[in-house]
Amino acid sequence: MRVAIVGAGVLGASTAFHLAKAGIQVVVADQAHAGRATAAGAGIVSPWSSGRVDPGWRAIADAGARYYPALIQHLAEAGETETGYRRVGALSVSADDAELDGIEQAVRARVAMAPEGGAVTRLSPAEARAFFPPLHPDLGAVHVSGAARIDGRLLAAALWRAAERQGARFHVGRAEVLVRNERVSGIQLESEVVEADCVVVTAGAWAPEVLMPLGIRLAVAPQRGQITHLHLEGVETEAWPVVLPQSSHYLLAFGGSRVVVGATRETGSGFDYRVTAAGQAEVLNQALAVAPGLGSATLIETRIGFRPVGPDLRPMLGRISGLEGLVIGNGLGPSGLTIGPSAGRLLAQVVLGEEPDLDLGAYDPLRMTASTEQSPGTG
Ligand code: FAD
């Protein structure tokens, strides 16, 4: 069997890795759009800290977080150890004790269902600052030890290289899906036709334009996120936890004295690849209100990413009835770095005709049920 994949963000890269690992011949095309979500994503992996209640989202987000250690192990066995993955824990912070009581109760209930969330501990403001020194002195916290962070760029690159070593071929450039006799027959690259038995479209926010010529209207739209990287000269930040205030904003840290703060959620942005004055102000004001100790940090860069957002924030994963050989993976929204690696494995199982580890009934790519749930979850 030969499989072509259109789009190699975290979802396409993971699909390619799992298919190549299973011995399938894989060709991947990626256009490397400015604003591809995986290259901008913050990298928080902590579904237990999210108040989102939708069971479909929770099942796949928990599965995503649970899969990470195994994936990191698979990658290490393939010689890839640079992913930025680290279990650093997460602090849900608030200055209001009653609010922290509610958060603690909810996080404990979620971790009871998903033990990989680890230990849940209530922290005084002084204890919270010991974990994340720039934090506002009034903020207490609920700490969840299993939370992790990942570098989306490093992870995707590690997955590509590991897949390539297993024989996958990567092509940088635009691809179109080809159809013959009412089934997909491959992809058209700039100067080459790649015949394939199955085409997986994991083209993120750009997928609607890839699928439109096939008569498929995918209910996905770009949601711009502006996210800022700061440098704290001489400060070792590698093991600092994720910080989650009670809003859609957050802070997290990586090695190299880097602290990442964000992000805007700009629904209706289209593909407007710009750092705006209002977006930058929002990100910095929110971050400094939570962590005034970052005021003297150096602003290194602001990244822009277009989250692929569907009608109800559940991912869209599976085959399309009526067009044989087509598989879609999309709608990862603000949680794609959590969900993407395991969702790529699920897509590989679909392609291989195996029973997926998770029932995909709730994730039909062409469902159109609009839900109003908007509560924040990851980045
Ligand atoms: P993308 O990464 O956008 O990849 C799609 C790829 O398809 C692109 O490379 C594009 O060039 C390619 N493509 C499109 N059309 C074509 C074509 N015709 N031919 C070839 N290639 C094509 N998630 C979390 O879990 N935790 C977080 O903390 C978090 N923070 C975030 C913060 C921000 C600011 C943003 C923007 C996102 C964040 N996310 C987070 C969400 C996560 O980054 C995304 O959900 C995820 O990266 C989406 O991956 P994807 O592979 O579906 O899409």
Could you list the mean pLDDT of each consecutive 10-residue stretch along the chain, which spans 379 residues? 98 98 98 98 96 93 97 97 96 98 96 95 98 98 98 98 97 97 95 97 98 95 98 97 96 98 97 98 98 98 98 94 95 98 98 97 80 53
Which residues line the pocket of ligand 1, CB cutoff 6 A? Answer: 6-12, 29-33, 36-38, 40-44, 152, 174-175, 202-206, 210, 225, 227, 262-263, 305, 307-308, 332-338, 340, 378-379
| Dihedral angle of Cα 89, 58, 347, 357, to the nearest 10 degrees | 90
CB 360 within 8 A of CB 339: no
Q: Cα separation of 2 and 199, whole Å?
A: 9
Q: Identify which of 52, 229, 259, 378 to mutate to test ligand 1's pocket (most ligand atoms within 8 A of the CB).
A: 378
User: In the prediction, which pLDDT does 346 show?
Assistant: 98
Q: What is the pLDDT of residue 371?
A: 40
* DSSP per position, 161-221: HHHHHTT-EEEES--EEEEETTEEEEEEETTEEEE-SEEEE--GGGHHHHHGGGT-----E
pLDDT of residue 322: 86
Domains of the chain: 2-42+153-220+311-363 (3.50.50.60), 88-147+221-309 (3.30.9.10)
pLDDT value of residue 374: 45
Residue among 5, 10, 151 to mutate when testing ligand 1 (max atoms within 8 A of CB): 10
| CA 296 to ligand 1 centroid distance, Å | 31
Protein residue with least CA distance to atom 14, ligand 1? 203
Give distance in angstroms: CA of 178 to centre of ligand 1: 23
State whether ipTM is beyond 0.85.
yes
Q: Give alpha helix (H) positions in 114-143.
A: 125-131
Q: Beta partners for 142?
A: 92, 122
DSSP β-bridge partners for residue 198 = 3
Q: Can you give the pLDDT at residue 362?
A: 95
At 161 the pLDDT is 98
Q: What does DSSP assign to residue 146?
A: T
Q: State which of 200, 261, 273, 337 you would mutate to test the pocket of ligand 1, scoring each by most atoms of that ligand within 8 A of its C-beta.
A: 337
pTM, whole model, 2 decimals?
0.96
Q: What is the pLDDT of residue 313?
A: 82
CA atoms within 13 A on the CB side of 332: 34
Whole-angstrom distance, CA of residue 36 vs CA of residue 28:
16
| pLDDT value, residue 271 | 98
Question: Which strands make up the sheet holding 176-180, listed edge to edge?
Answer: 176-180, 183-189, 192-195
